[in-house]
Structure 1
């Protein structure tokens, strides 16, 4: 189980780096959703189901959705 946790932590680190290095806002939103999903799995593995449920709502659904809607509105207002 320790190897699985180490690989999961490495994947979270790589996903976070991917969010930071991405320049397109839509790609950042997708990468943020993927990072949120990985963090949810990490919280479940470390036996924190309450935090995992909060992470699903905020990190996987709400935050990427707000980013995409904001980008769409800004692009629409520039036209």
Structure 2
């Protein structure tokens, strides 16, 4: 396993996670999580670390299910605030 490739993958994950954490709006955070490829970066890292099954699971959950759940939750919270 090439240490340079592992280090580059870790830096990519750190950069994507930092961008998501610095985003203020929760709805935008969900989009940043999926579009800025945090899920893709983690999948790449898992592939480099020779765990392709974990990488596929991460792609499915991290790029689709988690952002969808966050967006639905934000929508529900905003509706409740409007009612009050």
Q: CA deviation at 1:20?
A: 1.6
Q: Deviations over 1:1-23 (max 9, x none)?
A: 54343222211111111122211
Structure 1 residues not aligned, in runs of 5+? none
Consecutive unaligned residues in structure 2, runs of 5 or more? none
Contact 2:31 2:67 in 1 (8 A): yes
2:52 paired with 1:71:
no
The CA distance in 2 between the partners of 1:49 and 1:9, in whole Å, is 16
Tell me, yes or no, if structure 1 residue 28 matches structure 2 residue 5. Answer: no
Q: 1:36-60, CA deviations, whole angstroms, 9 ceiling, x for partnerless residues?
A: 1210121122221111121112211
Separation (CA, whole Å) in 2 of partners of 1:36 and 1:71: 20
The reply on whether 1:54 has 2:57 as its aligned counterpart is yes
The number of equivalent residue pairs is 79
Q: Name the counterpart of 1:39.
A: 42
TM, length-normalised to structure 2: 0.78
CA drift of 1:28 comes to: 1.1
